[in-house]
Amino acid sequence: MTSGKPTPDSLPKEPLPRLLAVMAWLRDREHGCPWDIDQTFRTIAPYTIEEAYEVADAIERDDMAALKEELGDLLLQVVYHSQIASEARAFGFEDVAAAIAEKMVDRHPHVFGDMDIRTADAQTVSWEARKAAERAAKGGAIEGAAGALDGVARALPALMRAEKIQKRAARVGFDWPTIAPVIDKIEEELKELRAELVAGKVEQAKVADELGDVLFAVANLARHCKVDPEVALRATNDKFEKRFRHIERRLAESGRKPSDASLEEMEALWQEAKTPA
C-alpha cells in the first residue's frame, strides 16, 4: 500500500482490485476508519449472516436492482474477513478464491473429468459422497473417524440446522421409512408438552425442552414431505403479515387500531382476509 492518504483516483480502476484496495485502506491503522479498524472475525460474523438473508430476501421479491446491491454487500463480507485474515498472515482473498475454485473442480468430476453423471439427483449423491470423504480426511470426534454429523455449522438457524442433521442421520439409516411414525412422534411430543403446561407448577426450562422437541419433530415431517421448513415458515410469516395488515387497514377505516377492537372482531376480519378477492 502506498504512503499518504488515499483518494478515489488513487485506487485501482478494475472493480475487484478496487474493492480489495478500499477494504485495505479502511483497515489502515493511520488513514483508515476507526470502526472498521476495531472489527474482528467475531464482530463481523453477524453482519455476514444478515447480508446472506438480505440476498435471499431480494431473490424472494424478484428485485434485480436490490439483488445486485445485496450481493455486493455479501461480497464485501468475504473481502472483510479475508483482509482481517491477511493482516494475521493466515490467508488472503486470493487464497479463498483459489480454494473454492479447486473445490468446485473436485466436486464436479463429470464436468472437469471423465465421470458420467447425467441427473441432478446423481450429482447430489456424488457431491455428498465427496463431502463425506473430505470430512473423513480431516478426521472427526469419534476416535479419529469422521462422524455423520460433523461439519454441520452450529451457527445455522435452528430450523435449518435441524433439517441438516436429520438428513445426515438418515444417510446412515437412522430414519423412519414412512411419514406415519413421524406424525405419531409429533403427537407424542405434543402430549408431553401439554403435560408440562398443565402441571401443578410449570417449569419454564422443561416447557422449552418439550417445545424444542415438537419443533424438531415438525422439521422432520417437513423433510419427509420434501418441503424446506425455512421456506414454508417464511411463506406462512408473509401470509400472517398480509392478513394482519388487512385487519389494521379495515379497523383504520373507522379510525381505530387493533388495540381498540375485541378479539372476536379481529378474528372476523381475519376470516375476511382469507376470503379470495
For the residues of 104-122, what is the DSSP string, one character each? Answer: HHHH-HHHHSS----SHHH
pLDDT for residue 142 = 45
Domains of the chain, residue spans: 8-107, 116-151, 231-274
CA–CA gap between residue 188 and residue 186 (Å, rounded): 5
pLDDT tens-place values along the chain, 277 residues long: 556 788 999 999 999 999 999 999 999 999 999 999 999 999 999 999 999 989 988 998 899 999 999 999 999 999 999 999 999 999 999 999 999 999 999 888 888 888 888 888 788 777 777 777 776 676 654 444 568 888 788 888 899 899 999 998 998 899 999 999 999 999 999 999 999 998 778 889 999 999 999 999 999 999 999 999 988 998 999 999 999 999 999 999 999 999 999 999 999 999 999 987 6
- Judge whether 152 and 139 are in contact, CB under 8 Å: no
Hey, what CATH topology would domain 8-107 get?
Helix Hairpins (1.10.287)
pLDDT for residue 143 = 46
pLDDT for residue 141 = 45
Question: Residue 166 burial (CB < 10 Å; 0-12/13-18/19+)?
Answer: buried
